[in-house]
Each structure stands twice: as structure tokens, then as C-alpha cells.
Amino acid sequence: MTATDTLQPDAAVGGGRDVDVDLLVVGAGPAGLYAAYYAGFRGLRTAIVDSLPEAGGQVTALYPEKMVYDVAGFPGIKGRDLVAGLVEQAARFDPVYVLGERAEHLTNEAGHRPRAGERLVVTTDKGTRIRTGAVVITGGIGTFTPRPLPGGAEWEGRGLTYVVKELAAHADQDVVIVGGGDSAVDWALALDGIASSVTLVHRRKHFRAHAASVADMEKGSTVVVTDAQVDSLDGGLVDGVERLHTVNVKHKDGAVTPYKAHSVIAALGFTADIGPLETWGIEIVDRKIMVDTAMRTSVPGVYSAGDITEYPGKVRLISVGFGEAATAVNNAATYLDPDQPLFPGHSSDDPAGIGAAAAH
């Protein structure tokens, strides 16, 4: 059992719901989770939104097993354990997690560009509306999206997919999987016996996936085609609907082989992009958010922290992100209520360590 599957919060809020909070954190990586802790300590009702289905951001997505040696107080900690600790630390204030949803739009209640003092509304790609007094953007390197299959755009949803949502959806289909990583090989293993045929196409001879999984795949009935890539997709009318039926695979020597396919699953990895944040009206330079010493962005009520921020002298480290998160949240607290002090008090002065939350 790993730390993350015991401590990972439920995606408590489903699509299309309404959420009402004092502070919204955009991005559930280390800086965002720590911001949620501090917001709770300040007595703010808090939500965290992230396009990934799990908390932990880049650490969970890219290097959960890597040891991190530069977090204060931890001589060495595994990425996933650090994330689990951050989730646990924030959990005492019970933040609302909106995971697997990408924050798309930022407006005021009337749907316009917000002005100082107005309530903010962040809408996700799944239609969830989060009303909040302030926002802290801890978006890291941006939102993760699957790397597109070249030439595949027109077949998306008509035979081309980037994730396997349900194995049963591929029952009795001819399936072509593209890629050489763990996802590609794991899906080939899972669909072997469910699909009527599985063909895996990989650009190289060597796989990045675990050697044991590759060996299992080679023992099974999957047709493994290496040193080859998808050249083009063909389809035709099936029951009046244009559907994929053939994947043309080009080998290293230039020869092209057609494979029958009802589905092609492209598992080519993920890329991160700052994405929708560019439309929020905040000042962004080279895909980084410009902030001042209070971690304010150019939009009133919107703060930022962590790898996504930029200012003279910026050092892009996890430990710096934690400090910025505390600065952003405490400044946001005085924005929300100017009578509140900027300094939150010491967590150690409070027997329960729950700060302003004790008043609620």
C-alpha cells in the first residue's frame, strides 16, 4: 500500500456542481497543497482544483519515486510521501478537492472581467462553478494533456482515444495501441483477451516500459510492431457514421502495412502547457505569471505561488514555492478582510495548531 492511496482525498465534488469558498487554489501540487493548509489555518474555507485526477501535481505525475533532499526538515523524502504529508497537513481544515477538472475561466459573478473587491467565479471544463473571494494560482508547469497522435485530430472520438476509460468498450474490437511506455504496454496487457486483436506499434526497438511487463506482453497474443510509426488513419461509413477502420503503419524501411482497427489508443505521454490561464487577464511573460512581493498578480484578488511565478531573483525550487504559498495566502487573507492582520501568528502558539479556524 502506498502512502498516496491511503491519504489521497476523494474527488469530493462532481462535475457541474457549485462550490462556494473564501479562497480557491488552482493547482494541487506541493505549493498548492501547502497554500490550502495555510488558508485553513487562517480560517478560510478553501477549495483546490486540478486537471489531474490525483493531488501532487508534477511530483505525482512525473517523479513519485524520486527522493527529494531539499525540503526543510526532511533530510530526504520520497516524492509521493511528501505529497501524502502535505495532503494530511491540509486535511485538518477539510478543503474541497475538485480533481480531474481544469480551471478554464475567471470572471466576476456577472461573467465579466473582475474588478477589485468583487467575488470571483472560476469555471472548470466539466462545468463546475467555484465562487470565491480570492484565488491563489499554483499551476506549476501548467495543465497536463496527452501528446497528440500526428494526423489523428479528425479521428478523435471516432476511433482514436488517448485514454482507456473502460476496457469493455474495446470488447471484440481490433485495437491498435501506439507507444512504448508503461501506459501503452499496460493497456496492451489489459486488452489481450478482451479485444479481438491487439497490435502495439512503437517507434523504436526498445521499450521504456518495465521489462517484466514487456515480457508478459510478448508472451501473450499482442502483435508487437517495432521500428514503426503510424503513417495515416483511414475510415469509412459504418451505419451512416464515419468511423476508423484502418491504421497504416510505416516501417523504418519505408514500407507501409495496413492494420484493421476499430480503435487506436495513442499513449504517447503527456505535455504540460499553461493553457487557459493565458485568457484570465493576468500578466504572463514566457508562460510565467508576474507577481510582486506580496505574490499579487495584475488582477485584484488573484495571487500566485510556486514554479509558475516570475520576478527578479526567482529561484524555482520546491522550498521557495512553500514560502511563496504562505506569503500569497496571508496576503489574500488581508485582501478578503482588511481588518485581519497580515501575520497569521505562530502555529506553535496555538495548542491545537489550528489558528483562526478555531473561531469557526
Shortest distance in whole angstroms from residue 141 CB to another protein: 6
Interface of this chain with another protein, residues 141 to 170, rule: CB under 8 A: 141, 144, 147-148
How many residues bind another protein, per CB under 8 A? 23
3-state helix vs strand vs coil in the chain, percent to 5 = 25, 30, 45
Contact (CB, 8 A) for 329 and 38:
yes
Interface region with another protein, contact rule CB under 8 A, candidates 79-87, 126-134, 267-275, 348-356: 267-275
Is 144 labeled as ligand-binding? yes
The C-alpha atoms of residue 194 and residue 189 are separated, in whole angstroms, by 10
Interface region with another protein, contact rule CB under 8 A, candidates 46-54, 111-119, 243-251, 263-271: 263-271
Q: Which is nearer to another protein, 50 or 174 (CB)?
A: 50
Contact (CB, 8 A) for 45 and 23:
yes
Contact (CB, 8 A) for 149 and 230:
yes
Shortest distance in whole angstroms from residue 37 CB to another protein: 24
252 binds another protein (CB under 8 A): no
Shortest distance in whole angstroms from residue 149 CB to another protein: 11
Contact (CB, 8 A) for 115 and 3:
no
Q: Which is nearer to another protein, 103 or 318 (CB)?
A: 318
Interface of this chain with another protein, residues 85 to 144, rule: CB under 8 A: 141, 144
Q: Which is nearer to another protein, 268 or 325 (CB)?
A: 268
Is 307 labeled as ligand-binding? yes
Which helix (H) or strand (E) segment holds residue 320: the answer is: helix 318-336
Is 270 labeled as ligand-binding? no
The C-alpha atoms of residue 204 and residue 33 are separated, in whole angstroms, by 39
Provide the β-strand partners of residue 285.
288
Interface of this chain with another protein, residues 7 to 66, rule: CB under 8 A: 58, 61-63
Shortest distance in whole angstroms from residue 172 CB to another protein: 31
The C-alpha atoms of residue 101 and residue 14 are separated, in whole angstroms, by 9
The C-alpha atoms of residue 175 and residue 201 are separated, in whole angstroms, by 11
The site string for another protein over 196-235 (x = CB under 8 A, - otherwise) reads: -------xx-x-x---------------------------
* Residue 259 main-chain phi, psi, to 5 deg: -115, 135
Q: Which is nearer to another protein, 150 or 258 (CB)?
A: 150
* Collapsed DSSP state (helix, strand, coil) of residue 124: strand
Nearest to 103 by CA among 355, 282, 351: 282
How far, in Å, are 63, 84, 114 from residue 67 at the CA level? 9, 14, 41
Interface of this chain with another protein, residues 271 to 330, rule: CB under 8 A: 271-273, 286-287, 307, 316
Copy the grid coordinates of residue 258.
495496413
Contact (CB, 8 A) for 143 and 272:
yes
Nearest to 37 by CA among 354, 358, 253: 354
Q: Which is nearer to another protein, 66 or 113 (CB)?
A: 66
Amino acid at 138: T
Is 58 labeled as ligand-binding? yes
Is 348 labeled as ligand-binding? yes
Q: Which is nearer to another protein, 95 or 152 (CB)?
A: 152
Q: Which is nearer to another protein, 273 or 337 (CB)?
A: 273
Q: Which is nearer to another protein, 149 or 191 (CB)?
A: 149
Length of the chain: 360
Residues annotated as binding site? 50, 58, 63, 103, 144, 307, 348
Binding-site residues for FAD: 50, 58, 63, 103, 144, 307, 348
The residues that touch another protein, with contacts defined as CB under 8 A, are 58, 61-63, 141, 144, 147-148, 180, 203-204, 206, 208, 268-273, 286-287, 307, 316
